[in-house]
Structure 1
């Protein structure tokens, strides 16, 4: 007969396996998938977001940059390392948002290799405009991807999101040449958490999202926006997820997005 002490590891393993199953309870029969994504921000609401995702058994994709935070040493700093490790254990996916949250501003002619005028909103050159060549931009993407792997033990997806979604054909070509495909969001997938709350209330944003989101949409929000006075999360996040589930939607990470499967096969 097995002792209780001998059974305890088996019970724990069984509970862990059950938890992984329960977190993706809709199995493989997802008929109306949505792809919820989060960009980094000041991170104040990150613990609350994680609580909601865990409670609702939803996996998402995080696009991360090393941005200034209300607590700690930046969104990819050591302070937040346990948070990122926990999200990896829950099965979330990760991709780059550039290291210094570098905004593309313009192409600098049609030179080869390409050059771009950029302005980061984080790091030592925050707020400055300067020229960056294709290799420099790729290094920005790659630095964040490497840090994510170090934090999570999981290789970042060969994807990136340009800050603000601002790109050009040249920028996208340069990124693809160094192994990164861009991910934007659907028009209805702009969840509005960076809009001024005086004009766009949480109730309005929730109502619009529930009315407009369609199957296959990529949705985008942030882990904290400095300018919004009435935070979007957690006020809207959980009602939105619940409401979308009630409408027959299910949630997948960008790992499962059909438009990127060929890209993933080429960039394992």
Structure 2
């Protein structure tokens, strides 16, 4: 009787294990099918007023995003790539987010020059507010300044990704960035968060509806870690319901490392 009971118990345990494995396998195979598309969230540095909230919201929803970094003045009176931000960036690295360069001094391109150089206008740094002419190598050096500082702060390297401030490109600028080893990342039309727009004309509920109605599979979404000029901040009002709403519609999220146009870049 004891032997029979032992065999019976073994068979029941084996069946339970088999059932559990089958269920797990079914869950794994069904997960991708439940994803109706992928959205690629991205955040540029800014005033950093909403940086911590955005990080907490991404963690809450287990969502990974891509951050584009410039050394911008923050609401704390420091700059976003100062040592005072080391714990923030280290935490984002540990969470598995991706990172690209946004130029160190948040440098806008104005136009291509006939001699092959580019007319630029930095927002920060020693040449802030001035028009300056740069070669492709000078622009490359500017992109790499972010990579160097990020490594000093976190021990990690940037992904080979770049976003020009304002998303502004010229033929010379695009060629300079790509020759430097960075792929430019823009955003979809529906992926423009509108967090830079005046909140009187573009209230948060309107921006939320626009994003939920317009975003589709493969779209890159862009917002900032804080905008000085907006009276009613985009975050926290929009980000949490946006992620929840997109998930309800069957969307998943990934960093630019998984985007088909960027993941094979060396």
Given the two structures, how large is their TM-score scaled by the length of structure 2? 0.86
Offset at 1:72? 4.7
SS at 2:237 equivalent: coil
Q: How many angstroms apart in 2 are the aligned matches of 1:49 and 1:27?
A: 26
Q: How many angstroms apart in 2 are the aligned matches of 1:174 and 1:211?
A: 36
Structure 2 match to 1:189 = 191
Structure 1 match to 2:103 = 98
Offset at 1:148? 1.7
Structure 2 match to 1:175 = 177
Q: How many angstroms apart in 1 are the aligned matches of 2:188 and 2:161?
A: 16
Structure 1 match to 2:123 = 121
Q: How many angstroms apart in 2 are the aligned matches of 1:38 and 1:261?
A: 18
Offset at 1:130? 1.1
Given the two structures, how large is their TM-score scaled by the length of structure 1? 0.85
Q: Does 1:33 align with 2:35?
A: no
Bigger mean CA offset, 28-37 vs 59-68: 28-37
Q: 1:110-259, aligned counterparts within 5 Å?
A: 111=115, 114-259=116-261
Structure 1 match to 2:79 = 74
Correspondence for 1:59 among 59, 64, 88: 64
Do 2:112 and 2:171's aligned partners in 1 also have CA atoms closer than 8 Å?
A: no
Unaligned runs of 5+ in 2: 1-29
Offset at 1:150? 2.4
SS at 2:250 equivalent: coil
SS at 2:210 equivalent: helix
Q: How many angstroms apart in 1 are the aligned matches of 2:156 and 2:65?
A: 15
Q: How many angstroms apart in 2 are the aligned matches of 1:31 and 1:229?
A: 35
Offset at 1:75? 0.5
Q: Does 1:48 align with 2:53?
A: yes
Q: How many angstroms apart in 1 are the aligned matches of 2:264 and 2:147?
A: 20
Unaligned runs of 5+ in 1: 1-25
Offset at 1:126? 1.4
Do 1:94 and 1:148's aligned partners in 2 also have CA atoms closer than 8 Å?
A: no
Do 1:64 and 1:96's aligned partners in 2 also have CA atoms closer than 8 Å?
A: yes
Do 2:256 and 2:263's aligned partners in 1 also have CA atoms closer than 8 Å?
A: no
Give the direction of change, closer, same or farther, for the CA distance of 1:201–1:256 in structure 2 (3 Å limit): same
Bigger mean CA offset, 145-154 vs 95-104: 145-154
Offset at 1:169? 1.6
Q: How many angstroms apart in 1 are the aligned matches of 2:263 and 2:210?
A: 30
Say which one has the larger Rg.
Answer: 2
Q: How many angstroms apart in 1 are the aligned matches of 2:136 and 2:31?
A: 41
